[in-house]
Protein backbone atom coordinates (compact mmCIF):
# COMPACT_ATOMS: atom_id res chain seq x y z
CA UNK A 1 0.00 0.00 0.00
CA UNK A 2 1.24 3.55 -0.75
CA UNK A 3 2.43 5.74 2.11
CA UNK A 4 -0.35 8.31 1.72
CA UNK A 5 -3.55 8.53 -0.28
CA UNK A 6 -4.83 11.68 -2.04
CA UNK A 7 -6.87 12.92 0.95
CA UNK A 8 -3.84 12.62 3.21
CA UNK A 9 -1.65 14.43 0.69
CA UNK A 10 -4.29 17.16 0.20
CA UNK A 11 -4.41 17.70 3.95
CA UNK A 12 -1.00 19.40 3.77
CA UNK A 13 -2.47 22.36 1.88
CA UNK A 14 -5.99 22.38 3.30
CA UNK A 15 -6.05 26.15 3.70
CA UNK A 16 -4.98 26.78 0.09
CA UNK A 17 -7.56 24.29 -1.19
CA UNK A 18 -10.25 25.97 0.89
CA UNK A 19 -9.36 29.32 -0.66
CA UNK A 20 -9.39 27.67 -4.09
CA UNK A 21 -12.88 26.29 -3.48
CA UNK A 22 -14.22 29.75 -2.60
CA UNK A 23 -12.67 31.34 -5.68
CA UNK A 24 -13.82 28.49 -7.92
CA UNK A 25 -17.39 28.95 -6.71
CA UNK A 26 -17.23 32.69 -7.43
CA UNK A 27 -15.82 32.09 -10.92
CA UNK A 28 -18.91 30.08 -11.87
CA UNK A 29 -21.52 32.77 -11.10
CA UNK A 30 -23.90 33.55 -13.96
CA UNK A 31 -26.87 35.87 -14.50
CA UNK A 32 -28.74 33.03 -16.20
CA UNK A 33 -30.70 31.10 -13.56
CA UNK A 34 -30.40 27.76 -15.35
CA UNK A 35 -26.61 28.12 -15.56
CA UNK A 36 -26.44 28.89 -11.84
CA UNK A 37 -28.64 25.90 -11.07
CA UNK A 38 -26.37 23.55 -13.02
CA UNK A 39 -23.14 24.96 -11.59
CA UNK A 40 -24.53 24.55 -8.06
CA UNK A 41 -25.30 20.95 -8.97
CA UNK A 42 -21.72 20.48 -10.21
CA UNK A 43 -20.28 22.06 -7.05
CA UNK A 44 -22.24 19.63 -4.86
CA UNK A 45 -20.31 16.73 -6.38
CA UNK A 46 -17.05 17.20 -4.61
CA UNK A 47 -14.39 15.40 -6.61
CA UNK A 48 -10.88 14.72 -5.35
CA UNK A 49 -9.67 18.02 -6.87
CA UNK A 50 -6.46 16.32 -8.03
CA UNK A 51 -5.77 19.00 -10.63
CA UNK A 52 -5.95 22.05 -8.35
CA UNK A 53 -3.88 20.04 -5.84
CA UNK A 54 -1.21 19.53 -8.50
CA UNK A 55 -1.22 23.22 -9.47
CA UNK A 56 -0.90 24.40 -5.88
CA UNK A 57 1.76 21.85 -4.86
CA UNK A 58 3.74 22.73 -8.00
CA UNK A 59 3.61 26.40 -7.01
CA UNK A 60 4.67 25.53 -3.46
CA UNK A 61 7.69 23.50 -4.60
CA UNK A 62 8.72 26.12 -7.18
CA UNK A 63 8.58 29.17 -4.91
CA UNK A 64 5.18 29.64 -3.33
CA UNK A 65 1.46 30.06 -4.01
CA UNK A 66 0.36 33.39 -5.53
CA UNK A 67 -2.80 34.90 -6.96
CA UNK A 68 -1.72 33.49 -10.29
CA UNK A 69 -1.58 29.98 -8.76
CA UNK A 70 -5.25 30.22 -7.84
CA UNK A 71 -6.14 31.55 -11.28
CA UNK A 72 -4.22 28.64 -12.83
CA UNK A 73 -5.98 26.14 -10.57
CA UNK A 74 -9.39 27.57 -11.49
CA UNK A 75 -8.50 27.49 -15.20
CA UNK A 76 -7.53 23.79 -15.17
CA UNK A 77 -10.47 22.80 -12.98
CA UNK A 78 -12.91 24.63 -15.28
CA UNK A 79 -11.34 22.93 -18.32
CA UNK A 80 -11.45 19.55 -16.57
CA UNK A 81 -15.09 20.04 -15.54
CA UNK A 82 -16.01 21.09 -19.10
CA UNK A 83 -14.32 17.95 -20.39
CA UNK A 84 -16.21 15.72 -17.95
CA UNK A 85 -19.54 17.26 -18.93
CA UNK A 86 -18.74 16.70 -22.63
CA UNK A 87 -17.40 13.18 -21.92
CA UNK A 88 -20.69 12.17 -20.35
CA UNK A 89 -22.49 13.25 -23.52
CA UNK A 90 -19.89 11.43 -25.60
CA UNK A 91 -20.27 8.22 -23.57
CA UNK A 92 -24.02 8.55 -22.93
CA UNK A 93 -23.11 8.23 -19.25
CA UNK A 94 -26.03 8.12 -16.83
CA UNK A 95 -24.09 8.96 -13.68
CA UNK A 96 -20.98 10.85 -12.58
CA UNK A 97 -19.62 10.35 -9.04
CA UNK A 98 -22.91 8.60 -8.12
CA UNK A 99 -24.93 11.67 -9.13
CA UNK A 100 -27.05 11.56 -12.30
CA UNK A 101 -24.97 13.18 -15.09
CA UNK A 102 -25.85 16.63 -16.48
CA UNK A 103 -26.97 15.05 -19.76
CA UNK A 104 -29.16 12.58 -17.83
CA UNK A 105 -30.87 15.39 -15.87
CA UNK A 106 -30.93 18.21 -18.45
CA UNK A 107 -30.38 16.36 -21.78
CA UNK A 108 -27.47 16.48 -24.23
CA UNK A 109 -28.31 19.94 -25.53
CA UNK A 110 -27.73 21.62 -22.21
CA UNK A 111 -24.70 19.45 -21.39
CA UNK A 112 -22.88 20.41 -24.62
CA UNK A 113 -23.64 24.10 -24.05
CA UNK A 114 -22.61 23.93 -20.40
CA UNK A 115 -19.27 22.38 -21.40
CA UNK A 116 -18.67 25.24 -23.84
CA UNK A 117 -19.73 27.74 -21.19
CA UNK A 118 -17.35 26.34 -18.54
CA UNK A 119 -14.43 26.33 -20.97
CA UNK A 120 -15.10 29.92 -22.01
CA UNK A 121 -15.26 31.05 -18.37
CA UNK A 122 -11.85 29.51 -17.75
CA UNK A 123 -10.34 31.16 -20.79
CA UNK A 124 -11.96 34.53 -20.03
CA UNK A 125 -10.51 34.49 -16.57
CA UNK A 126 -7.04 33.82 -18.00
CA UNK A 127 -7.49 36.67 -20.51
CA UNK A 128 -8.73 39.04 -17.80
CA UNK A 129 -5.73 38.21 -15.63
CA UNK A 130 -3.37 38.63 -18.63
CA UNK A 131 -2.14 35.07 -17.99
CA UNK A 132 -1.12 34.65 -21.62
CA UNK A 133 1.49 32.02 -20.78
CA UNK A 134 -1.30 29.90 -19.25
CA UNK A 135 -3.42 30.39 -22.37
CA UNK A 136 -0.66 29.15 -24.62
CA UNK A 137 -0.30 25.99 -22.54
CA UNK A 138 -4.00 25.39 -22.02
CA UNK A 139 -5.22 25.85 -25.60
CA UNK A 140 -2.60 23.37 -26.78
CA UNK A 141 -3.86 21.00 -24.08
CA UNK A 142 -7.46 21.29 -25.26
CA UNK A 143 -6.24 20.40 -28.76
CA UNK A 144 -4.20 17.43 -27.50
CA UNK A 145 -7.05 16.09 -25.36
CA UNK A 146 -9.59 16.18 -28.18
CA UNK A 147 -7.09 14.89 -30.77
CA UNK A 148 -6.02 12.06 -28.40
CA UNK A 149 -9.62 10.99 -27.85
CA UNK A 150 -10.29 11.12 -31.58
CA UNK A 151 -7.19 9.01 -32.30
CA UNK A 152 -8.32 6.48 -29.70
CA UNK A 153 -11.78 6.35 -31.21
CA UNK A 154 -10.45 5.71 -34.69
CA UNK A 155 -8.10 2.98 -33.43
CA UNK A 156 -10.87 1.40 -31.36
CA UNK A 157 -13.12 0.97 -34.36
CA UNK A 158 -10.46 -0.95 -36.22
CA UNK A 159 -9.35 -3.08 -33.23
CA UNK A 160 -5.90 -1.97 -34.19
CA UNK A 161 -3.36 -0.50 -31.79
CA UNK A 162 0.33 -0.82 -30.94
CA UNK A 163 2.46 0.39 -28.05
CA UNK A 164 3.65 3.48 -29.85
CA UNK A 165 0.13 4.67 -30.65
CA UNK A 166 -1.07 3.69 -27.16
CA UNK A 167 1.53 5.98 -25.58
CA UNK A 168 0.67 8.78 -27.97
CA UNK A 169 -3.01 8.46 -27.06
CA UNK A 170 -2.55 8.41 -23.28
CA UNK A 171 0.00 11.21 -23.44
CA UNK A 172 -2.48 13.40 -25.34
CA UNK A 173 -5.72 12.49 -23.63
CA UNK A 174 -4.58 12.14 -20.00
CA UNK A 175 -0.99 13.18 -19.34
CA UNK A 176 -1.29 16.50 -21.20
CA UNK A 177 -3.69 17.95 -18.61
CA UNK A 178 -1.71 16.76 -15.58
CA UNK A 179 1.44 18.10 -17.20
CA UNK A 180 -0.35 21.41 -17.77
CA UNK A 181 -1.42 21.56 -14.11
CA UNK A 182 2.19 21.20 -12.96
CA UNK A 183 3.55 23.60 -15.56
CA UNK A 184 0.93 26.25 -14.75
CA UNK A 185 1.62 25.88 -11.01
CA UNK A 186 5.36 26.28 -11.58
CA UNK A 187 4.92 29.25 -13.94
CA UNK A 188 2.83 30.99 -11.28
CA UNK A 189 5.77 30.75 -8.87
CA UNK A 190 8.92 31.12 -10.93
CA UNK A 191 10.40 32.22 -14.25
CA UNK A 192 13.18 29.61 -14.02
CA UNK A 193 12.82 27.54 -17.21
CA UNK A 194 14.58 24.54 -15.72
CA UNK A 195 12.09 24.37 -12.86
CA UNK A 196 9.16 24.89 -15.20
CA UNK A 197 10.38 22.08 -17.48
CA UNK A 198 10.98 19.77 -14.49
CA UNK A 199 7.40 20.22 -13.32
CA UNK A 200 5.98 19.84 -16.83
CA UNK A 201 7.88 16.54 -17.19
CA UNK A 202 6.83 15.44 -13.71
CA UNK A 203 3.17 15.95 -14.68
CA UNK A 204 3.62 14.15 -18.00
CA UNK A 205 5.25 11.09 -16.37
CA UNK A 206 2.76 11.09 -13.52
CA UNK A 207 -0.09 11.22 -16.04
CA UNK A 208 1.22 8.30 -18.06
CA UNK A 209 1.75 6.22 -14.91
CA UNK A 210 -1.76 7.17 -13.76
CA UNK A 211 -3.40 6.12 -17.04
CA UNK A 212 -1.53 2.80 -17.28
CA UNK A 213 -2.70 2.00 -13.74
CA UNK A 214 -6.23 2.94 -14.77
CA UNK A 215 -5.99 0.56 -17.70
CA UNK A 216 -4.60 -2.24 -15.48
CA UNK A 217 -7.50 -1.84 -13.03
CA UNK A 218 -9.92 -2.62 -15.85
CA UNK A 219 -8.46 -6.17 -15.76
CA UNK A 220 -7.63 -6.76 -12.10
CA UNK A 221 -9.55 -4.19 -10.05
CA UNK A 222 -12.33 -4.87 -7.58
CA UNK A 223 -15.61 -4.03 -9.22
CA UNK A 224 -17.16 -2.70 -5.99
CA UNK A 225 -14.18 -0.42 -5.30
CA UNK A 226 -14.12 0.89 -8.85
CA UNK A 227 -17.86 1.44 -8.84
CA UNK A 228 -18.14 -0.19 -12.27
CA UNK A 229 -17.80 -3.69 -13.73
CA UNK A 230 -14.39 -4.85 -14.95
CA UNK A 231 -13.64 -5.17 -18.65
CA UNK A 232 -15.27 -1.91 -19.73
CA UNK A 233 -12.40 -1.17 -22.10
CA UNK A 234 -12.64 -4.69 -23.57
CA UNK A 235 -16.34 -4.18 -24.29
CA UNK A 236 -15.52 -0.88 -25.98
CA UNK A 237 -12.82 -2.70 -28.01
CA UNK A 238 -10.15 -0.41 -26.56
CA UNK A 239 -6.72 -2.04 -26.77
CA UNK A 240 -4.76 -0.87 -23.72
CA UNK A 241 -1.21 -1.75 -22.66
CA UNK A 242 -1.84 -5.07 -20.84
CA UNK A 243 -3.79 -6.41 -23.82
CA UNK A 244 -1.45 -4.97 -26.48
CA UNK A 245 1.46 -6.72 -24.74
CA UNK A 246 -0.36 -10.03 -24.39
CA UNK A 247 -1.51 -10.01 -28.03
CA UNK A 248 2.11 -9.59 -29.14
CA UNK A 249 3.61 -12.15 -26.79
CA UNK A 250 1.26 -15.12 -26.75
CA UNK A 251 0.70 -18.33 -28.76
CA UNK A 252 -1.04 -17.68 -32.10
CA UNK A 253 -4.06 -19.87 -31.36
CA UNK A 254 -4.81 -18.02 -28.12
CA UNK A 255 -4.47 -14.67 -29.89
CA UNK A 256 -6.84 -15.85 -32.61
CA UNK A 257 -9.48 -16.78 -30.03
CA UNK A 258 -9.20 -13.39 -28.30
CA UNK A 259 -9.44 -11.44 -31.55
CA UNK A 260 -12.48 -13.50 -32.51
CA UNK A 261 -14.43 -12.69 -29.34
CA UNK A 262 -13.42 -9.02 -29.44
CA UNK A 263 -14.80 -8.69 -32.94
CA UNK A 264 -18.22 -9.74 -31.70
CA UNK A 265 -20.91 -7.23 -30.79
CA UNK A 266 -20.52 -5.63 -27.36
CA UNK A 267 -22.87 -7.98 -25.51
CA UNK A 268 -21.35 -11.11 -27.02
CA UNK A 269 -17.73 -10.36 -26.12
CA UNK A 270 -16.40 -12.93 -23.63
CA UNK A 271 -14.79 -10.48 -21.19
CA UNK A 272 -13.50 -13.17 -18.82
CA UNK A 273 -11.74 -15.00 -21.65
CA UNK A 274 -9.85 -11.80 -22.52
CA UNK A 275 -9.02 -10.98 -18.88
CA UNK A 276 -7.69 -14.49 -18.22
CA UNK A 277 -5.67 -14.40 -21.46
CA UNK A 278 -4.00 -11.14 -20.43
CA UNK A 279 -3.25 -12.37 -16.90
CA UNK A 280 -1.87 -15.71 -18.13
CA UNK A 281 0.43 -14.09 -20.68
CA UNK A 282 2.12 -11.50 -18.48
CA UNK A 283 0.17 -8.43 -19.65
CA UNK A 284 -0.48 -7.20 -16.11
CA UNK A 285 3.11 -7.64 -14.85
CA UNK A 286 4.43 -5.89 -17.95
CA UNK A 287 2.08 -2.90 -17.70
CA UNK A 288 2.70 -2.67 -13.96
CA UNK A 289 6.46 -2.59 -14.56
CA UNK A 290 6.10 0.17 -17.17
CA UNK A 291 3.76 2.22 -14.94
CA UNK A 292 6.30 2.04 -12.12
CA UNK A 293 9.08 3.14 -14.46
CA UNK A 294 7.10 6.27 -15.28
CA UNK A 295 6.37 6.85 -11.61
CA UNK A 296 10.13 6.63 -10.91
CA UNK A 297 10.89 9.02 -13.77
CA UNK A 298 8.38 11.47 -12.28
CA UNK A 299 10.12 11.29 -8.91
CA UNK A 300 13.48 11.88 -10.59
CA UNK A 301 12.06 15.03 -12.20
CA UNK A 302 11.69 16.43 -8.68
CA UNK A 303 15.40 15.98 -7.90
CA UNK A 304 16.35 19.56 -8.83
CA UNK A 305 14.17 20.92 -6.03
CA UNK A 306 15.30 21.21 -2.43
CA UNK A 307 13.74 18.76 0.00
CA UNK A 308 10.49 19.98 1.53
CA UNK A 309 7.18 18.61 2.71
CA UNK A 310 5.73 19.63 -0.69
CA UNK A 311 8.37 17.66 -2.56
CA UNK A 312 7.59 14.63 -0.37
CA UNK A 313 3.89 15.09 -1.07
CA UNK A 314 4.43 15.12 -4.86
CA UNK A 315 6.72 12.11 -4.55
CA UNK A 316 4.10 10.22 -2.54
CA UNK A 317 1.53 11.16 -5.18
CA UNK A 318 3.73 9.49 -7.80
CA UNK A 319 3.78 6.33 -5.66
CA UNK A 320 0.07 6.55 -5.03
CA UNK A 321 -1.03 6.66 -8.67
CA UNK A 322 0.62 3.31 -9.49
CA UNK A 323 -0.42 1.51 -6.32
CA UNK A 324 -4.00 2.65 -5.99
CA UNK A 325 -6.77 0.07 -6.17
CA UNK A 326 -9.52 2.43 -7.26
CA separation for the pair 43, 46 (Å, rounded): 6
Instruction: State yes or no: residue 42 binds its own copies (CB under 8 A).
Output: no
196 contacts 221 by C-beta, under 8 angstroms: no
Instruction: State yes or no: residue 284 binds its own copies (CB under 8 A).
Output: no
E-strand stretches of 99-201? 99-100
Instruction: State yes or no: residue 200 binds its own copies (CB under 8 A).
Output: no
Contacting its own copies within 120-159 (CB under 8 A): 120-121, 123-124, 127-128, 130, 132, 135-136, 139-140, 142-143, 145-147, 149-151, 153-154
CA separation for the pair 125, 259 (Å, rounded): 48
Compute the least distance from the CB of residue 92 to its own copies, in Å.
Answer: 8
In 3D, which of 212, 282, 215 has the Cα closest to residue 250? 282
258 contacts 247 by C-beta, under 8 angstroms: yes
Contacting its own copies within 96-115 (CB under 8 A): 108-110, 112-115
User: Measured from the CB atom, is 59 or 103 closer to its own copies?
Assistant: 103
Contacts of 159 (CB under 8 A, 6+ apart): 237, 239, 259, 262, 263
Containing H/E element for 5? none
Instruction: State yes or no: residue 272 binds its own copies (CB under 8 A).
Output: no
User: Measured from the CB atom, is 110 or 216 closer to its own copies?
Assistant: 110
CA separation for the pair 205, 253 (Å, rounded): 36
Compute the least distance from the CB of residue 53 to its own copies, in Å.
Answer: 24
Compute the least distance from the CB of residue 233 to its own copies, in Å.
Answer: 15
Compute the least distance from the CB of residue 154 to its own copies, in Å.
Answer: 4
Number of residues that bind its own copies (CB under 8 A): 42
Point out which residues pair with 96 in neighbouring strands: 99
E-strand stretches of the chain? 95-96, 99-100
Instruction: State yes or no: residue 160 binds its own copies (CB under 8 A).
Output: no
Residues forming contacts to its own copies in the complex (CB under 8 A) are 30-35, 86, 89-91, 108-110, 112-117, 119-121, 123-124, 127-128, 130, 132, 135-136, 139-140, 142-143, 145-147, 149-151, 153-154
Amino acid sequence: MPKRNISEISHLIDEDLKRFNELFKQSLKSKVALVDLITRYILKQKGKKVRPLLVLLSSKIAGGVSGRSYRGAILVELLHTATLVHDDVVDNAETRRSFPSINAVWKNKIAVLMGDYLLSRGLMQAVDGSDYDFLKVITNTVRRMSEGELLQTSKTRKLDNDEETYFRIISDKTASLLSTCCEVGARAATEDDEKIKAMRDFGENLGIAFQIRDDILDFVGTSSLLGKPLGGDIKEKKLTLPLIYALKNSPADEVKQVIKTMKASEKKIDVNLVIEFVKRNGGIEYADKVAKEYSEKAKQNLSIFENSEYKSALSDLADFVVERTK
